[in-house]
């Protein structure tokens, strides 16, 4: 439970940085990158990967989830989340009840068996529900920060697996397995989901190819976030019921991820763009709510202006639209999207995954 009369807001006096500056205690920081999923999303959502095996091609970008932690002498835990505009204080582990407020934080603390007081300051570079994996990335950041502070050595696989367990099993948040592993490892990865196991295959993409991707890709916020849980519930139900449309779309999506990986490694970027389009057409067959009239209109306008292919990131329904453009027409695509209310976001690719470090007080 939250301390009665607790404040909600962004007051600087509540942040670990300001308290550390007053008492000289070191600040532990952690960050993990958000991700772009090019293809294969949906095949990482149980029970599909356990039964048929899944595969995802993704890359992390220079947008992050952050955590700052400062140890305190007492046993209280103070948490400030800028994303949810919440400041909360917990006295004992029994206060860490799952009630819909900061449950991700509570679950991480309970799993890591902290046993002492600290202050925690959290924020991300993209809103929850945007399709960039911000919730899972924050889970990885929290586990990484607590592991560093408690001096508990953990591999990237262990951190990603615990973050997955916290989200999908403890808190029963619907979703797949790719985001936690992308955030923990960073870079371009072809991630395979084989039964209950996960194998992360880092891809050695030449820097010139990465530069060209950054030059020809557009990331556009469509103006609204979405609740992915309902979309995923219907997708899972369709697969469990062996609806032919859903099963065939998931199988073809996995094949598209493999084809996209090959096109990327071989430098066939025009094929890469066409495969993005193919993947988007398949994804729309998972559930009718994956797209919307507004998204369809933006995508059609972008294609008419010079986009080769693209997709909505995440489960769908809103968030960020990723587009691969003909280089000489990218500015036309950008202008058309802005005319339709889209907000273009500059980004670059990030090769590092989870990082933790200590800053002076």
Strand pairing class (197-202; 188-194): antiparallel
Please tell me the distance from the alpha carbon of residue 199 to that of residue 57, in angstroms, as a whole number: 12
Dihedral of CA 63/322/179/109: which sign? positive
How many other C-beta atoms can be found within 10 angstroms of the C-beta atom of residue 227?
14
Residue 343: strand, helix, or coil = strand
Residue 115 Cα to chain centre, angstroms: 29
- Kindly report whether the peptide bond that precedes residue 47 is cis, defined as omega within 30 degrees of 0: yes
Number of H helices, E strands in the chain: 12, 12
Strand pairing class (86-90; 118-124): unpaired
How is residue 168 annotated by DSSP? I
Please tell me the distance from the alpha carbon of residue 354 to that of residue 333, in angstroms, as a whole number: 33
Query: Catalytic: which of 44, 125, 179, 287?
Result: 179
Alpha helix (H) ranges present in the chain? 16-23, 48-52, 103-112, 134-150, 156-164, 178-185, 207-216, 228-240, 244-265, 269-283, 293-305, 330-339
Known catalytic membership, residue 179? yes
Q: In what order do the strands lie in the sheet with 343-344?
A: 307-312, 320-325, 217-221, 343-344
Q: Please, are residues 320 and 226 in contact by the beta-carbon 8 Å criterion?
A: no
Residue for token digits 């992915």?
228
- Cite the active site residues: 179
């Amino acid at each position: 439970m939250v301390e009665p009369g607790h404040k909600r807001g962004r007051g600087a006096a509540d942040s670990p940085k300001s308290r550390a500056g007053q008492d000289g205690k070191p600040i532990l920081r952690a960050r993990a990158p958000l991700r772009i999923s090019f293809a294969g999303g949906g095949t990482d959502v149980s029970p599909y990967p356990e039964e048929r095996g899944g595969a995802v091609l993704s890359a992390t970008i220079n947008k992050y989830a952050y955590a700052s932690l400062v140890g305190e002498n007492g046993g209280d835990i103070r948490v400030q989340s800028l994303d949810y505009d919440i400041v909360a204080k917990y006295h004992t582990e029994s206060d860490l009840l799952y009630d819909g407020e900061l449950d991700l934080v509570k679950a991480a603390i309970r799993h890591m068996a902290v046993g002492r007081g600290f202050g925690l300051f959290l924020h991300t570079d993209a809103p929850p529900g945007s399709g960039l994996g911000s919730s899972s990335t924050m889970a990885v950041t929290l586990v990484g920060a607590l592991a560093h502070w408690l001096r508990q050595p953990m591999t990237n696989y262990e951190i990603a697996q615990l973050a997955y367990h916290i989200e999908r099993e403890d808190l029963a948040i619907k979703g797949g397995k790719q985001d936690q592993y992308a955030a923990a490892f960073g870079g371009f990865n072809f991630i395979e989901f084989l039964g209950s196991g996960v194998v992360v295959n880092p891809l050695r993409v030449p820097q010139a190819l990465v530069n060209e991707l950054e030059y020809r890709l557009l990331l556009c916020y469509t103006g609204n976030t979405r609740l992915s849980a309902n979309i995923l519930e219907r997708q899972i139900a369709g697969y469990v019921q062996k609806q032919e449309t859903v099963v065939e779309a998931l199988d073809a999506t996995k094949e598209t991820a493999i084809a996209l990986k090959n096109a990327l490694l071989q430098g066939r970027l025009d094929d890469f763009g066409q495969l993005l389009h193919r993947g988007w057409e398949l994804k729309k067959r998972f559930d009718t709510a994956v797209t919307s009239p507004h998204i369809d209109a933006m995508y059609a306008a972008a294609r008419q202006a010079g986009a080769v292919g693209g997709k909505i990131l995440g489960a769908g329904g809103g968030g960020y639209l990723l587009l691969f453009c003909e280089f000489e027409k990218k500015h036309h695509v950008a202008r058309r999207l802005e005319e339709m209310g889209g907000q273009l976001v500059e980004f670059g690719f990030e090769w590092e995954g989870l990082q933790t470090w200590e800053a002076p007080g």
